[in-house]
Amino acid sequence: MTSSPIERTVFVVSDSTGITAETFSNSVLSQFAQFEFQAVRIPFIDTIEKAQAVADRINQCAQEQGQQPLVFSTLVDPKMAHIIGAANCTFLDLFGAFVRHIERALGVKSSRSVGRSHSGGMSKRYNNRIEAINFSLAHDDGQYVNGLEQADVILVGVSRCGKTPTSLYLAMQYAVKAANYPLIPEDFQRGTLPATLAPYRKKIFGLSIHPDRLSEVRNERRPDSKYASVEQCRMEVAEAERLMRMEGIPWLSTTTKSIEEISTKILDDVGLDRRSY
């Protein structure tokens, strides 16, 4: 009935960072577009005392606003979860809702140990991620071509089509060593891939972008330059797509996709095995 969004407070409570719970809550709450949610993330709740303090905060919020806040929790410890659940709120227990179901399916009790899901800074998987980030940084924008044989994937595309953030995301999220290499007018004149890349054809993946969007992005960096002009962008994109088609390189358009979506599609397409998972 009303056109201005209705405000609701959302608490995200976790014994760890709360990042997963917050991402999940954003995703579910996006289905209620008529509301404007004010999220309060409360991480590292790992004692009964801290849980009690959060419950007090939730109760105070409920009283002040005259309505129950939504509370997403990934607390593993059932005592702490119970304390939060007893507060004046709509309690959404992400961990508890599934762990019993899984216990039944597997025929065992869960360890219910706080901190188990945090690999910390010393695990193999963590070291792989850091190594991949360093690799992707060193091999950003073709600046360093030694070691390309170690790359899991090499992204190519015109300047500012999304190669750098995608490479970094692949490294950070998936421990994938992602190099990236720009396609520039010299490549289009020659009509072939840069010679440096020729031995690695199988791991090359292309990114493209709509010329109008590319022009927007480039204009932010170098306003009113030839580099940012729609004509130049149109030419470069057309040439890059022609080159990728000729060389048989798979590619996708980044225009309306997030880094997460682009990265997921690349992993699928290149058939990269997920590591350490």
- Mask 149-178, x = binds a copy of itself (CB under 8 A)? -------------x-xx--xx--xx-----
Rounded to an integer, what distance in angstroms lies between the CA atom of residue 37 and that of residue 5?
Answer: 9
124 Cβ contact list (under 8 Å, min separation 6): 276
Tell me which stretch binds a copy of itself (CB under 8 A): 80-88, 89-97, 223-231, 238-246: 89-97
Residue whose CB is less far from a copy of itself, 193 or 267:
267
Cα dihedral sign, 149-155-156-160:
negative
- Across 188-223, b (16+ Cβ under 10 Å) vs e yields beeeebbeebeebeebbbbbbbbbebbbeebbeeee
Task: For the CB of residue 60, give the shortest distance to a copy of itself in the complex, in Å.
Answer: 19
* C-alpha count within 13 angstroms, C-beta hemisphere, residue 156: 30
Q: Is 111 in the site for a copy of itself (CB under 8 A)?
A: yes
Contact 180, 274 (CB under 8 A): no
Q: Indicate the annotated binding residues for ADP.
A: 157-164
Q: Does 78 bind a copy of itself (CB under 8 A)?
A: no
Q: Which of 41, 50, 234, 275 binds a copy of itself (CB under 8 A)?
A: 41
Residue closer to a copy of itself, measured from CB, 118 or 242: 118
Q: Considering CB under 8 A, how many residues would be counted as binding a copy of itself?
A: 79
How far apart are CB 9 and a copy of itself at their closest, in Å? 12
For a copy of itself, give the closer residue by CB, 7 or 56: 7
Stretch that binds a copy of itself, among 105-113, 147-155, 194-202, 228-236 (CB under 8 A): 105-113
Find tokens 């071509």 and name the residue.
145
**Does residue 201 touch a copy of itself according to CB under 8 A?**
no
What angle separates helix 230-247 from helix 211-221, to the nearest 10 degrees? 120
Question: What is the C-alpha separation between 87 and 61, in angstroms, rounded?
Answer: 11
Q: 221-250: which residues touch a copy of itself (CB under 8 A)?
A: none
Stretch in the footprint of a copy of itself (CB under 8 A) among 100-108, 185-193, 224-232, 244-252: 100-108
Q: Find all residues with CB under 8 Å of 66, minimum gap 6, and list them.
A: none
Site membership for a copy of itself, residue 110 (CB under 8 A): yes
Q: What angle do CA 162, 170, 218 make, to 5 degrees?
A: 10
Q: Which of 11, 13, 18, 207 binds a copy of itself (CB under 8 A)?
A: 18
Site for a copy of itself in 45-74 (CB under 8 A): 68, 70, 74
Among 65, 90, 196, 225, binds a copy of itself (CB under 8 A): 90
d(C-alpha 179, C-alpha 171), whole Å = 10
CB of 204 to a copy of itself, least distance (A): 22
